[in-house]
Chain A
Amino acid sequence: MSDNPPMEAYRYPDGSITYPGHPVGPGGEEPVGTVDLSDYTATVLTWTTSTATPPGVRQPNTLAIVEFDVDGEPVRAIGQVTGEDEVDIGDEVEPVYCEELREPGAGIREPASQEWDGYRFEPL
């Protein structure tokens, strides 16, 4: 069992899962449980390397939209890709915890308004 915070997705009564969670799900009903996506691997749906990054963000910044398969239920997430490695559509990745994805306070958003840790995706 990891000491890292979970990559928490919400599960809704109709079986659907979203990351991040929302107070009300796609079917108009409140969530009934959570899923820790850091226990799963995912497949890269698409990716980009951004060279013009905003204040407090690494440069370049490779990002990917990935899709997890949680017991047959697809759920997508977006996040940074670890290191300098390029990825490709269809690659398998695993979530890797990072204490600070972006420097809090360097950009316009109030640092206390949100969390700044999270999961990057590492190609397997």
Chain B
Amino acid sequence: MDRVAIIGASMTQFGQRDAWIRELLAEAGQAALADADVSPDEIEHLYVSNMASGEFEGQTGVPNALAHDLAAMPAYTARIDQTSSSGGAGVYAAWQSVASGASDMTMLVGGEKMTHRSTAESTDVIASLTHPVEYKHGVTLPSFAGLTARLYLDTYDAPRESLGKVAVKNHKNGVDNPHAQFRKEVDLDTVLDSPVVADPLRLYDFCPITDGSAALVFCPESVAREYTDDYAVISGIGGATDTHVVHERADPTTMGGVVNSSEIAYEMADLEPDDIEVAELHDMFTILEFLQSEDLGFFEKGEGWKAVDEGVTDRDGDLPINTSGGLKSKGHPLGASGVAQVYEIYKQLIGDAGKRQVDADVGLACNVGGFGNCVTTTIMESR
């Protein structure tokens, strides 16, 4: 079977941007086409990963707007909304479109415009994904993180400092990412002394609110060879859901969507967790890096914090995690994040990650929506 290749990628500067959603999407889309050396009229399918442009900005219909702005008509377009995992779901849709034979040239652009809203308003837009019994109590995604972090620390006898070390590591990685929102190291004391947001988690345990966009160009591997020698292939991909109501999960420290989506991806790729050489995980909150690193099978349950503590997940460790700086440092423009995760793995696999470069031929991206409600896991290999 002809594998699905990624032949071009781009991401905009993440952070507080003057541009609005249409402009952000067009900026990334145009750059990805240039990177792939593909003209707009070659695009057969165009997907846009976006959670809430209508709620944030009052702009809907963004895929059609993007197709027009890039002169990509008459490409088939669709918007992919899967909350924070819209990007990963977009990767899945783009992979499907090529793997099925429906399209020989597909572009995915993920983006979100958020920073014009206050923190409270943005938090509420994101929290609107919750069940009514959660929403009426003022439950937010950060509060889910606080609830889970306390249970994790208590259950696995992990020190509070271990969470802070995730923030320290990912900020350090972000220094070398020219697109990252924050390119500044933080020390552990700064993290541990920052204001409480959702006890026991503090400000530096959380990703920022971000504007930004990222894009990828997909085609069959047989077509990719006509364009470039520098491409990567998707060798496994899986998507899965967990409960909408978070407290109904048997073990709140396990993300079933991560477990199930990764099992599908590993089986498709015929790989094991030990085969992964670099990974981008959805560290919207520091606690999520522990949960995913365990639920992906990298470490035993309750041991993920020790891996961070021992430097295993550092850029020069045995399994570098979030070489991009992660959502924590790079920023989290909802619909763009899953696309930007794959951008980072793609760059690592083709040897174009600059100062962030690690030695890897197999990489994994795990994009989480809600609090593990929807997950896409993507495994990629160098050609």
Contacts and interface: CB of A to CB of B under 8 A. Distances in A.
A56 B120 CA distance: 10
B154 A46 contact: yes
B150 interface: yes
B132 interface: yes
A46 B147 CA distance: 6
A47 B146 CA distance: 7
Contacts of B197: 50-52
Main secondary structure of the interface of B (DSSP, over half): helix
Interface in B99-129: 119-121, 123-125, 127-128
Interface in B117-160: 119-121, 123-125, 127-128, 131-140, 142-143, 146-151, 154
Contacts of B149: 48
A66 to B, nearest CB: 9
A55 B143 contact: no
Contacts, number: 125
Interface string A35-55: 000000000011111111111
B125 A78 contact: no
B198 interface: yes
Interface in B205-241: none
Interface stretch (B14-22, B32-40, B244-252, B316-324): B244-252
B195 interface: yes
B121 to A, nearest CB: 7
Interface in B149-180: 149-151, 154
Contacts of A19: 133
Q: How many B residues are at the interface, by size bracket? A: 35 or more
Contacts of B132: 20, 113-115
User: Which of B124, B127, B196, B247: most chain A Cβ within 10 A?
Assistant: B247
B150 A50 contact: no
A76 B147 CA distance: 14
A80 B154 contact: no
A2 to B, nearest CB: 19
A-B pairs, 8 with minimum CB distance: A48-B146, A57-B138, A54-B124, A114-B132, A46-B151, A50-B143, A49-B199, A76-B247
20 contacts: A46-B150, A48-B146, A48-B200, A48-B201, A50-B199, A52-B120, A53-B140, A54-B120, A54-B121, A54-B140, A55-B120, A55-B124, A78-B139, A78-B246, A101-B136, A102-B137, A107-B135, A108-B124, A114-B136, A115-B136
Interface of B: 55, 119-121, 123-125, 127-128, 131-140, 142-143, 146-151, 154, 195-201, 245-248, 252
